[in-house]
Amino acid sequence: MKRIILILKNDIKRRLKSPLSILILLIIPVMMTGIIGTVFSPSENKMPKIRVLITDNDKELGAKVFIEAFKSPQVDMFQLELVEENKGRELISNNRGSALIIIPSGFSKNLLKKNKTNLLLIKNPSEQFMPNIVEEFSKTLSILLSGAIQVFEIDETLINSIKGTNMDYKSLITMLPMLKKNKTNAEKFKKLMTYLNPPLLEIKKEITGKKTNNTGINIFSYILPGISIMFLLFIIEIFIRDILSEREDGKLQRMMFAPLRACEYITARILSGWIMGILTYLIIVLIGKLIFNIDWGNYFFLFILIIITCFWIASFFALLNAFFKNRNQAGAFVAPIIMIFSAFGGSIIQTNQLPEAVRWVSALTLNHWFIIGANKIRSNIFPTTPILILLISGIILYIIASKALNKRIII
Amino acid sequence: MKRIIHIALIDLKIMVSDKIFFFWTLIFPLIFIFIFGNIYKDDNVKAKAELVIVNKDVGKFGKYFEKKIESPDILIKSLKKEPVDYNRLLILPKDFSEKIKSRKPQQLLFKKNSNANVKAATQIEIKIIQGITKTITELLINSKSDDFFDNKIDFKDIINIKTINLNENSIKMPSGFDHVIPGILVQFIMMMVLVYGGIVVMMDRQMGRLTRILFSSTSIPELWAGKFLGRLLMGLLQAFILVFIGILFFNLNLGNNILAFLIILFFSMAIASLSILFGSVFRKEDLIVGMSVMSANIFAALGGCWWPIEFVPQTFKTIGMISPAYWAMDGFHKIIFFNKSLSDITLNIIVLLIYTLIFTILSIKFFKIKE
């Protein structure tokens, strides 16, 4: 035991002397979390409004109603600009608008006659989501307008009464009494009100598959565990790779001449990676708390998860190092393994975003179980399944690694 | 010039002969393309969002409402019992028809699995709202008839939203992969050139190879130029592999290929200089890898390689302009999505040249032959 502690002490001293590479590996996940979190922070003020350009070639009631709907305070996600078609196309082609809607001349007349009419939509091809929101909103609006025109009898008198006025959203509401002047319309309007207040059909949403009781969302708390586990893999790997470097530079051979058993050396190496990993991750936890105000949940549960995760990683890399001939070979294989673990385990993107055909792969990765564990802890649930899986597989890895390394170390 | 090319080719050979070269340049970017391409899938050929409808209704309105939700974008599975596994589920209660007939308000339970795709859930929700609108409209239109389903006047979609291309002569709308591949290409040029290029410069110096080269008739400027050309070729090789794979398997459309090549060339030049700077300034392999990964990731994130730039707040977009990746991505967007010409990407090229100049000056200043 004394000898194990001695090796451990030496390791820690050595690492503290030149901590730069480990520090960089610590800074990277923090910076990435900061950037991703800032971009996707759910703060309303930060989400840019969708810039919608509209060319109104109709300038009649139908077009006005359509345009005003985009300005509706209930929607409040569009930044509307009325433009000439050429100007609109130019703005889109200069990436200065998400979509251009062209309302053709005669749009209102066609509506009035209940004739089919087209609204042209040009989506900004360099954007992937905003134009689709405009499209879906326009479709819903078209259904509402189509519905209104089929329900109410809107005649030329009504159209003419509005012509030339500078309508805004509020004055559209004041238009309703005009609709009600017609007896049939009045009846239908009354009925419509009974259908809408309270709604005849309403959606009641329920989120399933998540038994969490999170209070408030801190986006950083979802990002940091995933990214940090990827870099923890890299960090512990650097510690464990000492087995190879010591073998290559003859240090191991010299140590074996001392009264040190191979199993003691192996235990010391794994222990060193394990403890350094725990210390490193505790720093990440602290940074998460101080910089990103992450509520990690129950710290005791988290500590257990960190201990078991670091033990798993140390055993896993010890096992891999038993098969590598030298550091170059280790470098060649380890980084891709970590990156594949991270890509499929939820460190780079959430596993539910992965194509369904490859989702099963994530269950084979450490990252997946750590992230699930951290999420459960945040909800103050003890992560029994992740911990059991990591513990059992970690012990198996440790036993195999010890045996395999023993064979490689004995001279 | 011969000597410069010789040094460059040797560096390229070192990179290609690395055991893991094809993982980093080909397999790993492919995994990225596969994953991110799947997320930002082409909306023109998008996979249908699935909705399970548990129709417990004993009357006719349940089936009728299902029809109203139907849309080419969504796949409806109608069941009588609630399944254990689902992504999105809508329950039509037993008395659904009864309540509609008696015009009593009701709430329809819409369950969303938290692990399922959020975008698909929103899409389904919109379709349900549209279905409700159509239903209410038909109820109003047919309010006078005694039996709703007898001689019913159907809802007519009077207004049609017709999507047209910005460029009338463009053959296809850009797909999800057209968005994703340029970002991955830019990021991996940075990763590969900075990591490999930096490490080789450092090792050449530490192992005395640079000194030995100078014993030949090669001058220091030629040595630097050789190193620069080598890294430039590394970037071009990485780009070539990804563009080739993109065209072959993902129907990648780069717009004007010559202009796309110019963007790749000038971007690779900037990164090549930066890689010599890293190799000259840092003395440890771990440090070069760490710094390279960090810089590549930060540049990529700020430059819009990771996510659609439209999500990014304006302040962040402005900050992003300090990243060379921003100018490369912006150039790609102009070429791929807007069919822009050389004059439109001149600014991008100039900015990338300025980066090259700055990194070159710094790398020459710090370029060392010996430790």
pLDDT in tens, A67-105: 888 887 777 788 899 999 999 999 998 888 999 999 999
Cβ-defined contact of B105 to A332 (cutoff 8 Å): no
What are the structure tokens assigned to B235, written together? 């970037």
The CATH number of the domain holding residue A98 is: 3.40.190
Nearest to A139 among B28, B106, B161 (CB): B161
% of chain A surpassing 90 pLDDT: 25
The residue of chain B with its CA nearest to that of A46 is: B313
Residue B160 contacts A where some CB pair is shorter than 8 Å: yes
Confidence at residue A62, expressed as pLDDT on a 0 to 100 scale? 82
Instruction: Read off the pLDDT of each residue in B193-212 and give the average, rounded to a whole number.
Output: 87
Contacts of A195 in chain B (CB under 8 A): 103, 136, 139-140
Residues 6 or more apart in contact with residue B289 via CB below 8 angstroms: A21, B195, B199
Residues A374 and A233 in one domain: yes
CA distance B106 to chain A (A): 5
* Distance separating alpha carbons of residues B84 and A181, to the nearest angstrom: 53
* Distance separating alpha carbons of residues A246 and A267, to the nearest angstrom: 15
Give the tens place of pLDDT for each residue, B80-118.
Answer: 888 888 888 999 999 999 988 888 889 899 998 876 777
* Distance separating alpha carbons of residues B254 and B345, to the nearest angstrom: 14
Contacts of A30 in chain B (CB under 8 A): none
Answer whether A244's CB lies under 8 Å from A409's CB: no
CA distance B266 to chain A (A): 22
Residues 6 or more apart in contact with residue A251 via CB below 8 angstroms: A245
Task: Give all strands (DSSP E) within chain B, no chain letters.
Answer: 49-55, 74-79, 88-92, 106-113, 159-164
- Where is B183: in which H helix or E strand? helix B176-192
Between A80 and A178, residue with greater pLDDT:
A80
* Distance separating alpha carbons of residues A239 and A260, to the nearest angstrom: 20
Residues A335 and A364 in one domain: yes
Residues A288 and A360 in one domain: yes
In a domain, A144, yes or no: yes
In a domain, A192, yes or no: no
What are the structure tokens assigned to B31, written together? 């995994």
- Rounded to 10°, the helix A262-292/A219-240 angle is 160
Residues A131 and A270 in one domain: no
What are the structure tokens assigned to A308, written together? 């078991």
Nearest to B161 among A39, A138, A147 (CB): A138
Confidence at residue A374, expressed as pLDDT on a 0 to 100 scale? 93
The residue of chain A with its CA nearest to that of B293 is: A28
| CATH number, span B46-141 | 3.40.1710.10
Residue B117 contacts A where some CB pair is shorter than 8 Å: yes
Give the tens place of pLDDT for each residue, B10-36.
Answer: 888 888 887 777 788 888 888 888 777
Give the tens place of pLDDT for each residue, A11-46.
Answer: 888 877 878 778 888 888 888 888 888 777 665 455
Total beta-carbon pairs less than 8 A apart between chain A and chain B = 272
Confidence at residue A376, expressed as pLDDT on a 0 to 100 scale? 92
Residue B147 contacts A where some CB pair is shorter than 8 Å: no
Residue B158 contacts A where some CB pair is shorter than 8 Å: yes
- Where is A195: in which H helix or E strand? helix A183-196
Q: What is the DSSP letter of A45?
A: T
* Distance separating alpha carbons of residues A192 and A266, to the nearest angstrom: 78
Contacts of A67 in chain B (CB under 8 A): none
Between B45 and B336, residue with greater pLDDT:
B336
> Residue A336: is its pLDDT beyond 50?
yes
- The model's confidence at residue B140, banded by pLDDT at 50, 70 and 90, is confident
In a domain, A403, yes or no: yes
Residues A322 and A235 in one domain: yes
Q: Is B145 left (phi over 0), alpha (psi -120 to 50) or beta?
A: beta
Where along chain B do its domains lie?
2-41+173-366, 46-141
Q: Is A119 helix (H, G, I), strand (E, B) or coil?
A: strand
Residue B68 contacts A where some CB pair is shorter than 8 Å: no
> Residue B45: is its pLDDT beyond 60?
no
Enumerate the β-bridge partners of residue A123.
A99
Contacts of A42 in chain B (CB under 8 A): none
CA distance B217 to chain A (A): 33
DSSP letter string, B77-128: EEESS--SS-SEEEEE-TTHHHHHHTT--EEEEEEEETTS-HHHHHHHHHHH
Cβ-defined contact of A124 to B166 (cutoff 8 Å): yes
Contacts of A201 in chain B (CB under 8 A): 100, 105-106, 108, 132, 135-136
Between A136 and A327, residue with greater pLDDT:
A136
Mean of all residue pLDDT scores within chain B: 85
Place of tokens 């300034």: B281
Residue B140 contacts A where some CB pair is shorter than 8 Å: yes
Looking at chain B from residue 8 to 47, which residues have their Cβ under 8 Å from any Cβ of chain A? Answer: 18-20, 23-24, 27-28, 31-32, 34-36, 38-40, 43
Cβ-defined contact of B166 to A207 (cutoff 8 Å): no
Residue A202 contacts B where some CB pair is shorter than 8 Å: yes
What are the structure tokens assigned to A195, written together? 């259908």
Residues 6 or more apart in contact with residue A231 via CB below 8 angstroms: A25, A26, A28, A29
The residue of chain A with its CA nearest to that of B289 is: A21
In a domain, A212, yes or no: no
Looking at chain A from residue 43 to 72, which residues have their Cβ under 8 Å from any Cβ of chain B? Answer: 46-48
Q: Which of A187, A204, A235 is the last residue of a domain?
A: A187
Residues 6 or more apart in contact with residue A393 via CB below 8 angstroms: A312
What are the structure tokens assigned to A321, written together? 């190092």
In a domain, A149, yes or no: yes
Contacts of A191 in chain B (CB under 8 A): 140, 143
Looking at chain B from residue 218 to 247, which residues have their Cβ under 8 Å from any Cβ of chain A? Answer: none
CA distance A258 to chain B (A): 30
For residue A130, the enclosing domain spans 50-187
Cβ-defined contact of B308 to A98 (cutoff 8 Å): no
Question: Which ipTM score applies to this complex?
Answer: 0.75
Question: How many domains, chain A?
Answer: 2
Give the tens place of pLDDT for each residue, B328-371.
Answer: 999 999 998 888 889 999 999 999 999 999 999 999 988 888 76
> Residue A322: is its pLDDT beyond 80?
yes
> Residue B138: is its pLDDT beyond 80?
yes
Q: Is A118 helix (H, G, I), strand (E, B) or coil?
A: strand
Instruction: Read off the pLDDT of each residue in A312-325 and give the average, rounded to a whole number.
Output: 89
DSSP letter string, B37-59: HHHT--GGGPPPEEEEEEE--SS
Contacts of A146 in chain B (CB under 8 A): 137, 155-159
Instruction: Read off the pLDDT of each residue in B190-206 and give the average, rounded to a whole number.
Output: 89
> Residue A216: is its pLDDT beyond 60?
no
Contacts of A371 in chain B (CB under 8 A): none
Enumerate the β-bridge partners of residue B106.
A201
In a domain, A201, yes or no: no
Return the amino acid letter for A384: T
Residue B261 contacts A where some CB pair is shorter than 8 Å: no
Residue B54: phi and psi, rounded to 5, are -95, 100
Residues A308 and A234 in one domain: yes
Confidence at residue A215, expressed as pLDDT on a 0 to 100 scale? 46
Cβ-defined contact of A120 to B162 (cutoff 8 Å): yes
B312-B317-B321-B322 Cα dihedral, nearest 10 degrees: -80
What are the structure tokens assigned to A80, written together? 């509307």
Confidence at residue A167, expressed as pLDDT on a 0 to 100 scale? 56
The residue of chain B with its CA nearest to that of A100 is: B166
Confidence at residue B40, expressed as pLDDT on a 0 to 100 scale? 64
Best of A23, A86, A138, A208 to substitute, by most chain B Cβ atoms within 10 angstroms, is A208
* Distance separating alpha carbons of residues A201 and B106, to the nearest angstrom: 5
Nearest to B125 among A125, A203, A352 (CB): A203
Residues 6 or more apart in contact with residue A187 via CB below 8 angstroms: none
Residues A240 and A374 in one domain: yes
Residues A30 and A172 in one domain: no
- Where is A323: in which H helix or E strand? helix A299-323
Q: Is A198 helix (H, G, I), strand (E, B) or coil?
A: coil
CA distance B101 to chain A (A): 11
* Distance separating alpha carbons of residues B141 and B135, to the nearest angstrom: 10
Residue A19 contacts B where some CB pair is shorter than 8 Å: no
Between B48 and B226, residue with greater pLDDT:
B226
Q: Number of H helices and number of E strands within chain A? A: 19, 5
Cβ-defined contact of A202 to B108 (cutoff 8 Å): yes
Place of tokens 């730039």: B309
Residue B75 contacts A where some CB pair is shorter than 8 Å: no
* Distance separating alpha carbons of residues B340 and A93, to the nearest angstrom: 9
Q: Which of A165, A187, A209 is the last residue of a domain?
A: A187
Nearest to A32 among B32, B297, B340 (CB): B297
In a domain, A67, yes or no: yes
Q: Where are the alpha helices (DSSP H) in A198-324?
A: 219-240, 242-248, 251-257, 262-292, 299-323
Residues A106 and A32 in one domain: no
Cβ-defined contact of A202 to B161 (cutoff 8 Å): no
In a domain, A115, yes or no: yes
Answer whether A367's CB lies under 8 Å from A262's CB: no
Enumerate the β-bridge partners of residue A208.
B113
Residue A2 contacts B where some CB pair is shorter than 8 Å: no
Return the amino acid letter for A160: N
Compute CA distances B261 → B328, B336, B342, whole Å.
Answer: 11, 12, 12
CA A352 to chain centre: 10
Centre a 10 Å sphere on the Cβ of residue B281 and count the other Cβ atoms it contains: 19
Give the tens place of pLDDT for each residue, A243-280.
Answer: 888 877 787 777 777 777 778 888 888 888 899 899 99
